Amino acid sequence: MNKAIKNYRLVIGLTGPIASGKGLALKAIRSLFEEDEDIRSVLLSDYIRDAVRSQGQELTRDTLREAGNALRAKAGSGAWAEMMINNLPKVDSGVLLVDSIRNPGEIDALRKTFGKSVIIVATDADVEERIARVLKRGREEDSVEIQEIVRQMKIEMERNPETGFDLQQCKEMADIISTGKESKIERIAEIQSELSRFISEREGKETREGKRVA
């Protein structure tokens, strides 16, 4: 693996259940850094969508989950993150945003490659609010039937860290958690404030550790 891909200043991973506010978190993070940093965004789920389409299958939550699980069973729980990492361009700095993390192995793969540059942000929200968002956003893989949406949400929360999802463990591994109890404006401000605080505290700690070593 080319060492150049390890030179992102920050690698921020987003995890959370369906329609929990990952898109809003992504917007908040981009607006925080876009004036001063080169930003690259990737969705792990885009790699899975490509796999489903290449097999000539309909794009649904079920086919996406089956394709995702199949590669994890074959190549390990962090396989999709490792695929993404191997496809990154060479960079010397900047911020990498990684959306749609659903397995702890994907977090492990990021931290193994990028070390202390990695920050994991977990999002969550009430089920009723998430259902309303799914119905409103109209993604290709989303159902418009409430019963089916609820079924998919229940399946997504099942814990299968070897080959499937384990969003609870991902949340427990997160550095920042946003529960979405505020308005959109307030939530954006909260995420930006928490992220800025976390980065400042981490950099301060690294500076102190560096002085002790010197």
Burial letters 44-62, b for 16+ CB under 10 A, else e: bbebbbebbeeeeeeebbb
Residue 191 lies in a domain: no
Number of structural domains the chain divides into: 1
Instruction: Say which CATH number the domain at 103 has.
Output: 3.40.50.300
Residue 57 lies in a domain: yes
Listed in sequence order, the residues at least 6 apart from 66 whose beta carbon sits closer than 8 Å to its beta carbon are none
**In Å, how far are 123, 137, 142, 170 from 148, measured between CA atoms?**
22, 16, 9, 24
Residue 206 lies in a domain: no
Residue 192 lies in a domain: no
Residue 204 lies in a domain: no
Alpha carbon distance 128, 164 (integer Å): 24
Alpha carbon distance 166, 145 (integer Å): 25
Residue 211 lies in a domain: no
pLDDT at 105: 98
Output the tens digit of pLDDT for each of the chain's 214 residues. Answer: 455 456 899 999 999 999 999 999 999 999 999 887 899 999 999 999 999 999 999 999 999 999 999 999 999 999 999 999 999 988 878 999 999 999 999 999 999 999 999 999 999 999 999 999 999 998 889 999 999 999 999 999 999 999 999 999 999 999 999 998 778 999 999 999 999 999 999 887 777 776 666 5
Residue 150 lies in a domain: yes
Cα-to-chain-centroid distance, residue 46 = 12
Residue 39 lies in a domain: yes
pLDDT at 196: 96
For 24, the domain range is 3-181
Residue 166 is given by DSSP the state -
pLDDT at 37: 81
Q: Are 78 and 103 in contact (CB under 8 A)?
A: yes
